[in-house]
Structure formats: structure tokens, C-alpha cells
């Protein structure tokens, strides 16, 4: 049973560019959440997708957008990259309607913006 | 979601029990207590969660006080691989509820 997978593992971009990160949820899960973790800090919630819709959003600008596909996988897109977008981007999946709907995390994508 | 307070760091001798405290004095009746840990540069790993009763699984035990204002995560026999940042998180029972990660407790297991 595969866990949450993310690609790519590492990515280097320059300021102003756009980036797309990908996430495949754990088998049986239908909800995907994205988090940003800057160096030395705890993860911060970006947004959550369920039934291909953005269900909840944290305090992130519109440069951050996402998508969920019919197979429940998800993409995180960041436009007009800034140096401050350098971080570990984490994807977590869960199954809606399961009581506490525990979130399970992938290994993350390390984004470096130069 | 209620805020949690954890000590910034703790040490534990290898083979001994590690007891990690967490205060969540403003927790409401339908909020769970979750514990995750994060080993350097990896994704957070789910450990355990509970609502009112004490819980135990293959990784740890969670002790929640009767008034639910604090809890303790217990790793019964700490190993070097348990060195990590441990996050205590309080979240709503269901729905579109994200996890709010504070600064956590950095546990160092000493040989």
C-alpha cells in the first residue's frame, strides 16, 4: 500500500519563474492538503482540496494555486516566484468523513528560488 | 483551533521512556489532540491522536488529563531514531480543518 508520494524531490528555480509540484495521495484517500515549511519553522497550511474543489485556504497570496484531479492526485502551482518561496512543500492526504480524518504526509519537495 | 504550548527541547537517555508534555488549556469538547513528529528534512509522521481517553499504539501512548487541558506523549523505550521535533496539535473533529503546527519540542535521545 503506497503512501503519499510527491514529485519532484528537489527543484531549483529563479525569481519570477513558475513552478508546479505534484502529489499522489495514499490509497483510499480523497482529500489533499498542502503545507509550506520554511527552514527552522513548522509547516504552514496553504490550502486543501476535496472533490476537485478548494475547500479551505490559509493565509497565502493568489500566486499559490492548486488543482485536484478525478483520481484525487493534486498539483500546487506557484507563479512569479520570490526568494521567500524557498521552502519544503509538503502534501498530506486524508479520507473525508472518517471521524478524525487523520492526515498523512509525503516526503516533501524542496524548492530553492535563486 | 486551540493553541498548544510545548517545551522547546528535551533530552532523553536511550532505552528510557520519553515523556513529552503539551498544554492545551483552551481545548473545546470536539477537538482532538494529535501528535506528529518530524525527523530532519522529512515529512511529518503521524504518531497518535485522542479525544478524551488515553490511547496506545505500536509507536507511543497518549495520556490526556481528565479536564483535557494537557496531555503527555510517551515513547516507552526511546531509541536514537526517535530524535526528532515532536508537534502537539489540537484540531477540530471533522471537516475542512488544517493542522496548525507550532514550534514543537526537539527531542534528543542520548546514547
Contact B43 A107 (CB under 8 A): yes
Å between B13 CA and nearest CA of chain A: 25
The B55-56 sheet, strands edge to edge:
B18-23, B70-75, B61-64, B55-56
Contact A108 B43 (CB under 8 A): yes
Å between A96 CA and nearest CA of chain B: 7
Contact A42 B42 (CB under 8 A): no
Q: How does residue A98 score in pLDDT terms, banded at 50, 70 and 90?
A: low
What pairs with residue A27 in β-bridges?
none
- pLDDT single digits (tens) B48-77: 999 998 999 999 999 999 999 999 999 999
- pLDDT single digits (tens) B82-94: 999 999 999 876 6
Residue B40 confidence (pLDDT): 87
Residue B110 confidence (pLDDT): 97
Chain-centre distance for alpha carbon B91: 13
Q: B2 pLDDT exceeds 70?
A: no
Å between A108 CA and nearest CA of chain B: 6
Rounded Cα gap, residues B98 and A57, in angstroms: 9
Q: Where are the alpha helices (DSSP H) in A18-104?
A: none
Q: B1 pLDDT exceeds 80?
A: no
- pLDDT single digits (tens) A44-91: 999 999 999 998 899 999 999 999 999 999 999 999 999 999 999 999
Q: Are A1 and A9 in contact (CB under 8 A)?
A: no
How high is the mean pLDDT of chain A?
94
Q: Give contacts of A56 with chain B, Cβ < 8 Å.
A: 96-98
The H or E element that residue A63 is part of is none
Amino acid at each position: 500500500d503506497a503512501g503519499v508520494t510527491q514529485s519532484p524531490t528537489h527543484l531549483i528555480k529563479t525569481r519570477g519563474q513558475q513552478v508546479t509540484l505534484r502529489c499522489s495521495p495514499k490509497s483510499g484517500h480523497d482529500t489533499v492538503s498542502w503545507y509550506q515549511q520554511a527552514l527552522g519553522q513548522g509547516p504552514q497550511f496553504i490550502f486543501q482540496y476535496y472533490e476537485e474543489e478548494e475547500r479551505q485556504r490559509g493565509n497565502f497570496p493568489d500566486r499559490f494555486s492548486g488543482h485536484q484531479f478525478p483520481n484525487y492526485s493534486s498539483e500546487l502551482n506557484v507563479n512569479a516566484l520570490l526568494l521567500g518561496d524557498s521552502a519544503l512543500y509538503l502534501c498530506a492526504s486524508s479520507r473525508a468523513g472518517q471521524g478524525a480524518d487523520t492526515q498523512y504526509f509525503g516526503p516533501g519537495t524542496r524548492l530553492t528560488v535563486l | 483551533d486551540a493553541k498548544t504550548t510545548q517545551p522547546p527541547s528535551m533530552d532523553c537517555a536511550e532505552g528510557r521512556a520519553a515523556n513529552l508534555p503539551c498544554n492545551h488549556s483552551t481545548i473545546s469538547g470536539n477537538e482532538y489532540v494529535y501528535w506528529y513528529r518530524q525527523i530532519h528534512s522529512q515529512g511529518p509522521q503521524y504518531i497518535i491522536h485522542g479525544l478524551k481517553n488515553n490511547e496506545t499504539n505500536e509507536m507511543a501512548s497518549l495520556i490526556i488529563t481528565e479536564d483535557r487541558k494537557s496531555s503527555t506523549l510517551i515513547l516507552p523505550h526511546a531509541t536514537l531514531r526517535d530524535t526528532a521535533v515532536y508537534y502537539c496539535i489540537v484540531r477540530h473533529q471533522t471537516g475542512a480543518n488544517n493542522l496548525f503546527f507550532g514550534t514543537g519540542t526537539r527531542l534528543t535521545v542520548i546514547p
